[in-house]
Amino acid sequence: MKVLVTVKEVAEVEDDFEIEGTEIGPQYLNYDLNEWDDYAVEEGVQVGENVDDAEVVAVTIGPERSEETIRMALAKGADRAVRVWDEALEDVDLLDVGAKVRLLEAVVEEEDPDLVLSGVQAGDDAFGATGVALADAIDFEWAAVVNHLGLDVDEGVAHVHRELEGGVDEVTDVETPAVLTIQTGINEPRYASLRGIRQAQSKEIAPKDLSDLGLSAEDIESDLRLTDMYEPETESDATYFEGGPEETAGQLADLLRDTGVAE
């Protein structure tokens, strides 16, 4: 049994930032493992712990900097990692879903997994589409926004809950091999232990470029082009309480008394 977990290193923006062209100034960005992928890694590692002879492989498409992030997946228990990158990707400012799917499809062909876990969405550009598009490309079954997974390896069925709107779960049986997009809260992601972090240093991260994957620059041509980025005009017509904490708290308390919320 092999589980492939797709992970992305995402950028988080500081409170104060500036936009340069169609990008946020690099000095305002902090990189981290995508929140949703953290849960996907944990789910993959748990599957690995419960199934005999399981291997958990993490894959990322990202520049050298993202080795740090994929090492986090290794430190949390993934057995091995693949990092896809190519010079041709350097200048692409928006790698669209189609391009990502072509890259991941090539990795799936090499790895031949039984289960692929991705996150529901990447916290930065938030397409929320890569997992399901990949499933169609590799002819796997799939389920989006999974917040519960019970895997029956012998039957080849994943019993999942899909989290719909309004606090309702859809209960679904999905035949494997499958791609599941993992929702936050499905489990409790572990912290990497010191031992895990040490072990991760010696685990393999296989670098793959386009030619390693049998692809060419055409395959990553994106149909989407980012043409502008700006701070949304604030629609705020809020009354701001000013001053130190005592003053602002005092004003808010007055408001709450005036409106009858408090006495």
Q: Which of residues 119-158 bind ligand AMP (CB under 6 A)?
A: 119, 121-122, 125-131
Q: Which of 32, 110, 169, 219 binds other proteins (CB under 8 A)?
A: 169
| Window of 1-9, 171-179, 186-194, 252-260 that interacts with ligand AMP by CB under 6 A | 1-9
* Closest CB to ligand AMP among residues 22, 193: 22
**C-alpha–C-alpha distance, residues 143 and 156, integer Å:** 15
Q: Which residues in the 80-119 window bind other proteins by CB under 8 A? A: 94, 96-98, 101
CA distances from 16 to 12, 27, 97, 132, 234 (A): 12, 10, 29, 35, 15
Residues numbered 22 to 81 that lie near other proteins (CB under 8 A) are 22, 24
Contacts of residue 243, defined as CB under 8 A and 6 or more positions apart, other chains included, come to 251
- Minimum distance, C-beta of residue 128 to ligand FAD, in the bound complex (Å): 7
- Pick from 1, 208, 190, 39: nearest CA to 123: 39
Q: How far is CA 206 from CA 109, 184, 194, in A?
A: 15, 28, 23
Question: With binding defined as CB under 6 A, does residue 121 bind ligand FAD?
Answer: yes
C-alpha distances (whole Å) from 82 to each of 74, 78, 213, 215 are 11, 11, 11, 16
Does position 118 interact with ligand AMP (CB under 6 A)? The reply is yes
Beta bridge partners of 33: 9
| Interaction of residue 106 with ligand FAD, rule CB under 6 A | no
Binding of ligand FAD by 186 (CB under 6 A)? no
Q: Which of 192, 153, 158 is nearest to 175 (CA)?
A: 158
101 binds, among ligand FAD, ligand AMP, other proteins, none (CB under 5 to 8 A by kind): other proteins
Q: What is the DSSP letter of 25?
A: -
Cβ(10)–Cβ(123) below 8 Å: yes
Q: Does the protein bind ligand FAD through residue 120 (CB under 6 A)?
A: yes
Q: How far is the CB of 205 from other proteins (least distance, A)?
A: 27
| Residue 165 in the binding site for other proteins (CB under 8 A) | yes
Report the residue count for the chain: 263
Under the binding rule (CB under 8 A), the answer on residue 223 touching other proteins is yes
* Candidate list 92, 127, 203, 206; residue touching other proteins; CB under 8 A: 127
Choice from 63, 185, 207, 214 touching other proteins (CB under 8 A): 185
List residues binding ligand FAD (CB under 6 A).
120-121, 145
